[in-house]
Every structure is written in C-alpha cells, then in structure tokens.
Amino acid sequence: MDFLDLPPMLGARGCVRLPGSKSISNRTLLLAALAEGKTEIRDLLASDDIERMLDALRALGIEWSRDGESDTYRVTGGAGTFPVKHADLFLGNAGTAFRPLTAALALSGGEYRLSGVPRMHERPIGDLVDGLRQVGADVRYAGTEGFPPLHILPAVIRPGGVVRVRGDVSSQFLTALLMALPLTGVETTIEVVGELISKPYISITLELMKRFGVDVRREGWARFVVPGGVRYRSPGTVFVEGDASSASYFLAAGAIGGGPVRVEGVGRDSIQGDVRFAEALSTLGAEIRVGDNWIEAEASRKGRLKAFDLDLNHIPDAAMTLAVAALFTDGPCRLRNIASWRVKETDRIAAMATELRKVGATVEEGADYLCVTPPDELTAAAIDTYDDHRVAMCFSLVSLGGCRVRINDPRCVNKTFPTYFERFLDIAQPVPVVAIDGPSASGKGAVAARVAAALGYHYLDSGSLYRLVALAAIKAGVSFDDERSLAELAAGLPARFEPARVFLADVDVTDAIRSEDCSAGASRVAVMPDVRAALLDRQRDYRRVPGLVAEGRDMGSVVFSDAATKIFLTATAETRAERRYKQLMEKGMAANMESLLKDLQDRDARDAARPVAPLKKLPDAVLLDTTELDIDQAVGFVLDRARS
C-alpha cells in the first residue's frame, strides 16, 4: 500500500503480545555466529532488519536453520571466525546489523564490502572506524569519508591497550567494539570520550555478552575492560524478550485512549532500557501496572495527561512516542537530550517537528530538543514517514484524538514490526459509523436523520454535497471550469446537516441548493476527479465522536467501507414512485406517476451498471425492504442493528 488511512478512534483497550526485540535479536544472532557450539534462539523478531543480518551470516558461511512449527532458529557458531573470507554484504538500513558486523569483520582477517540503502550511507560511522583503526584494522571508505559504504581488508591486528571512542553520537559504536574485541584474545580497555548516550542499550549488550561467556568489567560509563583469553560459548537456548520500544505505542494508546492496554513480553525483569517508558508515562499521570512479563497502562483519572519537561537520553527510541503523546497533554512539553535522533533512520528531530505541525501542534526544534505545544483540536493530516518505522508507528496514535490520519508508506514498519497496524487496530476502537445506502427515493434521508437523532450521532447527507460545492462556487465567484479551485472549495466545505435541513457556513441553504443554477453546477462538478477525491476526504471528516450516520450512495462500499453497521435500504420501484409522488404533491408541485416510475427505473439501471462502485447490496450489509414498512418501523430496525 502507498498509504493507510486510520479512522478516528473512540479509545483503546485490550492486550498485545509483543514481537521480539530488534536490539536483542540482532545482537543474539551475531554472538551465536561468533560462539562455539550451537545456539537455539526462541522468539526471534521477524522483520527486515533481522532478515538483513540472517542473509549476511549465511553469506559469511554461518549455518543456521529455522523450525517453522516452533519458530525457533538454530545457529552453528564459527568459534570466533567467519568461514567465508570474501563477501559483498547489503544491509539495508539496519544499523543494528551494519555497525556490529563492521567491527567483527574488521577483526576477522578477510576482505569484505558493506553497503546499504542511501539513508544508511548518510548515517555516520567514522567514530567506529577510528576505534577499529586503533587496533590495526584496515577499514576504508568506499564513498564519503566517515560514512558507509565500507571496504574492509585483511590486516595485522594489534590487540590490547586502550581504544577510545566517542559516546555522544551513537551507542552502537561502543556496542560494536564491545562485541568484537573478545575476538582478539587480549585484554582491551575501551574509554568513552564525551557523554555516553543511550546507556540502556549498552546494558543490553553487556548482559548478552555475559550470557555467551564474556563478562566485561564496567567502570562507570566511561571505561569498559574486555577480558583477554576468553571465547564466546553458546548458552544453549536464548529467549528473545518482546520489543520494549514497540511496547511504547500500545502503552501510550492505553494512556491516551482510556485503556487498559496490556503488553506481554516485557516486564519488571526486562534487560531493555525502554521499559522505563512506562515510568515516563506515569509522570504524565497515566496509571501504570507492571508484572514479571507484562506492563499495563490506563488513562489518568484526573483528565488530560500532564505536560512534561524530561531528559530522554536513556530512552531515545521510545521518546518519539512521547512527542506524539504531548499532543494529548494540558500544556507545552519539552523533550531534552535527544541529539541522537539526528543520526537515526532519518533526522528524527526534523521529521517529528514537520509532522507534528501538520496535525496542528506548535513545535520548536533545537539541536537536541523539541518543544511541543498541543493544539486545541487536532487536524486530519497525511503523515510522511521518511522510510522510518518509528515515525509511522507513533503517529498512528493521532487517530485517538478523534480525527483521521493517513500514514504514507506504511510498509516501512516491516523494519521491526510487520504486523503493527493489525495489532493497533485490534486494540483501537473506531468511531462507529452507520452507513445507509440504497436506490433513489428509498427513504435513506428520512431514516438516517431520525437514527442519528436517536443515537446522538452526527449526520451526513452525502447527496447534497455536490450541490453545496456548486453553491459555494457561485457565492465565491469560482468558474465551473476551474477544477483546482472547485476541489479546494470541496476540501474545506463548511457544511453541516440537520434533519431535512442543510447548512453552509451556518446559513440554511436547503432550498438554495435546489435551484436550477445549483442543479446544473452540481452536474458539472460531479464528474471532476479532483472534486470527487476532495469530497471523499471531506465526507470522512464527518466521522467524529461519538459516531456518524451517513446516508447516500457508496457510503458502505467506498466512503466508510469499515462501517460496523451497513444497511441497504430499498423498496419496490412502484412504492418509491408513490412516495416521491406524495412528497411532490405536498409541496404543491406537479407530478406524474408514470413519469416518476420510469425515471426511477432508469436511474436504478444506471446506478447498477456504474463501472466504479455500482449500486448493490454489499455482502456485509443488511437488506431492509421497506415496501411494507412505515418510517417508524424502518428506524426501529436500524436502531436495533446499530445498538447491537
């Protein structure tokens, strides 16, 4: 799909089983490849980043297999080396594969070329290369100095001593060195220059190395002593925790959308730093409960979430979710110490600022911070995702603000969570829609208006929209030949509907839109693709809390295809002609039964033969034949269906 439209949501509640952690998955795969023995890996994440690592390991001669029934991977380690000494590796945009593999291959005595997607070639790697050169590795840039792609050549490694690496750009550089240096067999000290960011990710690295038999001595966060004379040894079976960064979207959904929402796969015993996202939500006022292997979030009992000013250096990935959660707080919010966002899958500070403004927020962007002031009302928007999975996932939460949101390039979530949107829709509760379709003069308008009033829902009379566009054009002096201007009018059409009345900018235009000029104009604008596209989005904007009753053609098939209640209202052509005849006579207008009947039959035939969305009962719609029913009976039937 090029885009995914999420409808406005009433709230969120339910339970989600998390996919495996990307950070743990790729670290575990590389350690298993470098270890002695066979490692069985359970709950490995299925995603693009992991596929890139698996492909690379196979190209390097590491044997692995997957048991489809148990979804278990078995990796036969290379005991500290890679059997294949010449390889070209493509690693996409997978930083958790590219950086550690660079370090391991640089110390493996082979010749390798590593490349990725264009964005990977914009992500700095110079600090890691400088660290590897300090022990004698021969790593060269195949393009721009300081950035991938890389060319690694065999070299005489000078192990031991002190290796210095910057810590304020990406913690993955330190992770890569920590995981690779045991291959030298000599004790080596790593000194971190500057502040170490994303410390919890280093904790994951150290914990996993320990499970594979290498215990690094940490002296604060500035010095790390990698022991000599040790080798990685398989621990046998490794279970991959659920992804704590992915948990943030669902926990935030619970805090914003009422909840409770529970995530399973992480809890109080997690080795991932991003579980502390739950603590951040708690400071915003959300109700948080934590178990051994689960976390649950629920909305604050005191109303809106509280504004915040937080240092988020310890949870950089999950912090993006807080940037969207800021839209639902009671004041301006500040996210500090997030400079690492600049060198991720995209420049996340710039990307988040741009997209937050689209939905109505006021945003101040700095070198290492964002200030987000929530709007009074969120605006429907199309969100660009920059090939960044986390941008796509966190902006799904905007739908919980009662407005629709379009996610462009939703497939980018395949990087870490291919089924994200399915899981989100499992817990999110869309604003309900009752879609009433059917042939002309079947009573759709009268029934829909009364159903909307009984339910307290908004009401959409779609049949009046093209007439309203024509009237708006006449009032604005826009030519019926100017499709672009007409589409702009349609996109922002200030129309609202009440039973038997139509309003344009709060002016009752029920009679005005029936004039000959409006009728002629409606016929002209109705065939314009840009106008039709604009009105499609405009109709969807009528879907607001607490619900919508939408009547007219294509309501259930095109405009609100996900409507929970779909009614196909019909009656015999003779009955519909009689009803139309009575309406016209009551208004003092001349009418002829035979002519009315023929007009309806001809229109039915045209509607049923349309090449796009022909008028017919959908498989998931309920047929309501009102030939023998009065309006009270028809309204009662629809209300029973909607309420059930």
Query: Would you name the residues annotated as active-site residues?
Result: 317
Distances (CA, A) of 478 to 4, 467, 492, 502, 512: 33, 14, 15, 21, 17
Residue keyed to tokens 């101040």:
364
Count of beta carbons in the 10 Å neighbourhood of residue 368: 16
Q: Which amino acid, 240? A: V
> Which residues does 435 contact at the CB level (< 8 Å), separation at least 6?
550, 551, 555, 556, 559, 560, 563, 565, 566, 567, 621
Distances (CA, A) of 244 to 69, 165, 291, 521: 25, 27, 14, 56
Rounded to the nearest 5°, which phi and psi values hold at 329? -100, 175
- Count Cα neighbours of 169 within 13 Å in the Cβ-side half-sphere: 14
Q: What's the alpha-carbon Rg for the chain, to the nearest Å?
A: 30
Are residues 494 and 507 in contact, defined by beta-carbon separation less than 8 angstroms?
no
Q: Identify any residues that bridge with 296 across adjacent strands, giving them in sequence order.
A: 262, 289
Output DSSP code: residue 227: P
Closest CA to 539 of 4, 7, 2, 1: 7
Going across the sheet that includes 86-90, the strands are 86-90, 111-115, 150-153, 138-141
Tokens read off for 430: 């869309």
Output DSSP code: residue 558: I
Q: How far apart are the first and last CA of the chain?
A: 33
Q: Each residue of 69-103: b (16+ CB within 10 Å) or e? A: eeeebebbbbebbbebeebebbbbbbbbbbbbbbb
Residue 581 burial class via C-beta count within 10 angstroms: exposed 0-12, middle 13-18, buried 19 and up? middle
The Cα 396–Cα 244 span in angstroms is 17
Are residues 338 and 331 in contact, defined by beta-carbon separation less than 8 angstroms?
no
Tokens read off for 516: 């000959």
Are residues 427 and 261 in contact, defined by beta-carbon separation less than 8 angstroms?
yes
The Cα 102–Cα 133 span in angstroms is 12
Q: Greatest CA separation found in the chain?
A: 102
